[in-house]
Amino acid sequence: MRAFLFSFSTAIAALCLLDAVLSQSSHYNWNGPGVTPEPVMDNVCLTNEASCGCCLMQRQMSRMEAFFNLSISELQKELDTAQAALNKVRSSRSAFSVALNDTRRCLGPFREDSTIKYQSVFLNLGDGYSTTTGVFTVPRSGVYVLALTIYSDAGSPGALLAACARLRNNGRLLATASENNTQDQEDSSSHVLAVQLQAGDKVDMQLPAGCYLCDDRSHYNTFTGFMLYSTD
C-alpha cells in the first residue's frame, strides 16, 4: 500500500511538472542548438489553473500518505502489545496429570503422614509438577481446576480397607478423599474442585498415617491440575 501511494504521488508530481512546462512554453526563448532557455520563475498556480489543481492534488496525496503511515505505526504498536500479552500467556501455560505408578504395588500404610510422589506422568506442561517431591508449584496466579482419584484393594473379603488421601495447598487442607470400611474388598473416591491459587503456591497430595493406596498400569490413582484462567 505504501509503495502504491508513493508511485501514485510520484506520477502526480510528474504530470504537474509536465503540465507546467507545456503550458508555459511561450515564456521560453529558443536561440538554436547549444543555447539553454531561461525559464520564467512565475508561480505556476497563479498562471495556470490546471497546474494549480494538479499541485493541490499532489499536496492532498502527501497528507493522505502521512496519515496512512501514522495509522500503520499505531496499528503496529497495538499488534506488538497484543503479541507480548499472548506470549506471556503461552509461556505461563500450566497443566499436569500424573498417576501413582506403572507397576502393581501399594503405597503405605505408614506410621506418619507422608507426601504422595506420583511417578507416572501423562502431562506436565510448564514443568510445574515434580516427581521428586510430589509437589506442584503454581507458576502464575489464577483459578485452577484440581482433580484426584484414589483407589485401594483390601486384599481379601472382610479385611479392613483404609484408602484415603488429602489435597493440600501450602500445607493447608483443601479436600479429603477417604474410604475406610469393611463392606467390600476394594473402594475408590474422587474429587474435582476449582480453587484460586497464587504464584509460588505449593500443592500436593498427602497420605495420612494408616492409609494406603494400590495401583498398577491401569492407573487407578491419579492427580490432575490445570489453570482455568489467569488473575494477574
CATH number for position 154 = 2.60.120.40
The rounded distance, in Å, linking the Cα atoms of 202 and 127 is 13
pLDDT tens per residue, the chain (232 residues)?
A: 555 444 555 555 555 554 554 444 444 444 444 545 544 444 555 555 556 667 777 777 778 877 777 778 888 888 888 887 776 666 667 999 999 988 878 888 899 999 999 999 999 999 999 999 999 999 999 999 999 998 877 665 655 667 789 999 999 999 988 766 555 566 778 899 999 999 999 999 999 998 888 888 889 899 999 999 888 7
CA atoms within 13 A of residue 210's CA, in its CB half-sphere: 6
**One domain, residues 141 and 37:** no
Q: What CA dihedral angle connects 42, 43, 49 and 52, to 10 degrees?
A: 150
Domain coverage including residue 150: 95-230
What is the per-residue pLDDT for 31? 47
Residues 129, 23, single domain; the answer is no
**Residue 49 shares a structural domain with residue 164:** no
Q: What is the number of domains present in the chain?
A: 2
**Residue 105 sits in the same domain as residue 188:** yes
Closest C-alpha among 164, 150, 167, 173 to residue 225: 167
Q: Are residues 69 and 183 in the same domain?
A: no
> Is there a single domain that holds both residue 166 and residue 70?
no
